[in-house]
A and B are shown apart, each in its own frame.
Chain A
Amino acid sequence: MMINNKHEFIQMIKINEGIIFKITKVYTNQMEDQKDLYQEIVFQLWKSFESFKGNAKRSTWLYRIALNTSITYLKKSKKNRSRAFTDFEIQNIKEERDEAKEERMEVLYTHIRKLNDIEKGIILLYLEGKNYEEIAMITGFSKTNVGTKLGRIKERLRKLILKV
C-alpha cells in the first residue's frame, strides 16, 4: 500500500483512538482481551482502508468495522495474545482523573457489558452522540426500530444502575 496512504491511516487512527478504546472496553472484560481487540480493530480498519471510497462518512465506516470486529472477536488463549506489541499498554489510558467520576464510569461500563450484542452496539452509538438516522445507517436497523430498542435499553440500564 502507498506510503502516503499509510500516513493518512495513522493520522486517522490517532484522531479516533479514544473511540476505539471505548468500543473495546464495552466488548471485553479483561484488559488483555481489550488490548487484543484494539489491535484487531486497527488491523481490520487497515485491511479495508484502501477500499474505503468515501461513499459513506468516515465515522460511519469506522464504527461499522469496529463494531463488526467486536462481535466476531474470538478470545484467544493467554499464550496467543499480542506477544508482538509489548509497548502498547492500554492501562496507561485513563478515562477520568477524578476518582469518583472514574468509579461512576466503571459502573456504567459494567452495566453496558451486561447487555447483549444488539443492545451494546445501539447504546454505544447513542452515547457517542449519534442520532437515530446515523445509528440506523451503521447498524442496519430501521429508525423506528432503533428508537424502540433504545427506549428499552435505557430503561434496562436505569433499573440496573438503581439496583446498585
Chain B
Amino acid sequence: MKSLWEKMSQNLKSQKLLTDKMIVQMIENRYENKFQNLILPETIASVICLATAIFIVSHFEKMDTWYLELSSVFAVTYLIILPIFSLQAIYRMKNINISKQNYKQTLIDYNQAKKQYQQVIKWGFFLNFFLMISVLLLTLRIFGKEDVIVSEMKMWLMLLPLGILFVIVVSKYAYRLSKSTMSNAEQVLKELDK
C-alpha cells in the first residue's frame, strides 16, 4: 500500500500542470466566502422572523383568549430562538481557525457545529406546523375576526387532520434527512474521545 502510494507520488511530482496564471486566478478571484451561500438566506430569514415576532408582540393586547395568548408566546419564542441557534451554528463553522488549529480541534469544532445546525433543522421541521397554525390564528385575530376557533369551526375541522398528516410526513422526511448527518458527526465526536 505504501510503496504503491510512493510510486504514485513520484509520478505526480514529475507532472507540473499548474501555471503561475492559474495559481494567481485561484487566489485573486476566490474572494467569496464559502459560507455566504448559507449565511445570506439564513440572515434574511432571521430578519423576517424578528419582524414577525415584533409585529405579534405589538398586537398582544388584542389576544383575548387563552389559546391566542399561548399562540403568541409560542410564535414569538420560536421566531426568536430558532434563528439565533441556526445563525450561531453557521458562525461557529465559519469561524473555525483553519490556519491555527490542529486537525483534531477542527474536527471537534466542525462536528459540534454541524450537529447543532442539524438539530435546529430537525426541530424546525417538527415545529413548523404548530407555527403555521399559531400564525394563522394570530393573523385572523389581528385583522379583525372575533373568536376565530368558533367562527371558523368548519375550516379547523378540515385543517386539523390535514395538518396532522403533514406533520407525520414531514417529520419522517426530516428524521431520515438529518439522521445520517447527525450520526456521522456523533460518530466522529465519539471516536475522538477514544
Contact = CB atoms under 8 A, between A and B. Distances in A.
A161 to B, nearest CB: 8
A137 B12 CA distance: 25
Contact of A72 (B5, B17, B37, B93): B93
The 5 closest A-B pairs by CB, nearest first: A140-B102, A18-B12, A48-B99, A140-B104, A139-B103
Contacts of A117: 107, 188
A20 to B, nearest CB: 9
Given A65-B98, A72-B110, A154-B1, 12 more contacts: A9-B27, A14-B18, A40-B30, A44-B99, A52-B99, A64-B103, A67-B103, A87-B25, A93-B17, A101-B7, A140-B103, A140-B104
Give chain B's interface residue range (CB within 8 Å of chain A). Answer: 35 or more
A22 B106 contact: no
Interface in B1-56: 1-2, 4-9, 11-13, 15-18, 20-27, 29-30, 34-35, 37-38
Given A18-B9, A72-B106, A10 B24 contact: yes
A12 B22 CA distance: 14
Interface in A53-79: 61, 64-65, 67-69, 71-74, 76-77
Contact of A118 (B2, B6, B17, B192): B192
Interface of B: 1-2, 4-9, 11-13, 15-18, 20-27, 29-30, 34-35, 37-38, 93, 96, 98-99, 101-107, 110, 184, 187-188, 191-192
A92 B102 contact: no
A80 B37 CA distance: 9
Interface residues of A, number: 62
A157 B1 contact: yes
Given A48-B98, A72-B98, A96-B11, A127 B5 contact: yes
A52 B102 CA distance: 15
A93 B12 contact: yes
B4 A42 contact: no
B26 A88 contact: yes
Nearest to A42: B26
Contacts of B184: 116
Contacts of A140: 101-105
23 contacts: A9-B23, A9-B27, A17-B16, A17-B17, A18-B9, A22-B8, A40-B30, A43-B27, A43-B30, A65-B98, A68-B99, A71-B103, A71-B107, A74-B37, A84-B29, A87-B25, A95-B12, A96-B7, A104-B4, A127-B2, A140-B103, A140-B105, A141-B104
A105 B98 contact: no
Given A42-B27, A93-B15, A94-B11, A68 B103 contact: yes
